[in-house]
Amino acid sequence: MSAFAGFRSHIKALSALGVILPALALGGCDQSTAEKSEPLRPVLVAQVHYQPETPERSFVGTVRPRIETDMGFRVAGKVEKRLVEVGQVVEPGQALATLDQVDLKLQAEQAQAELSAATGTLAQAAAA
């Protein structure tokens, strides 16, 4: 039993050291030594990207359709309502816009007045 007793004393000594050493190691730590680290230094950061060899170019111009149609109303007047939008596909014979009726009536009255004046001039010339 003496060998076992010696072994038992070694185990007690090792277990005591296992408890005491970590306690001493942790006891040496405090906040003042833990916070004493190197000060932060500012760093310049840049993002890497590919740049084209030639600089970007821009040109001035006018975009025009390949086929252009000169269309208009047969009589002068103000556009009252536009029935289609720019760039919309239209069918042949489809109405594109309507004119203001007031202008058309005034033009018809003016034409009627010119006709009656011309008729009066013709009657006067025939009587002479």
User: Are 76 and 99 within 8 A, CB to CB?
Assistant: no
Spell out the SS3 assignment of 53-88: CCCCCCCCCCCCCCCCCCCCCCCCCCEEEECCCCCC
CA-wise closest residue to 100 among 70, 75, 117: 75
Is the pTM higher than 0.75? The answer reads no
Q: What is the mean pLDDT of residues 65-91?
A: 83
The confidence score (pLDDT) of residue 39 equals 80
Confidence of residue 74 (pLDDT cuts 50, 70, 90): confident
Statement: residue 36 has pLDDT above 70: no
Q: Would you give the DSSP letter of residue 5? A: H
CA-wise closest residue to 108 among 72, 75, 71, 73: 75
Sign of CA dihedral 74, 78, 81, 85: positive
- Most confidently modeled of 11-25, 30-44, 60-74? 60-74
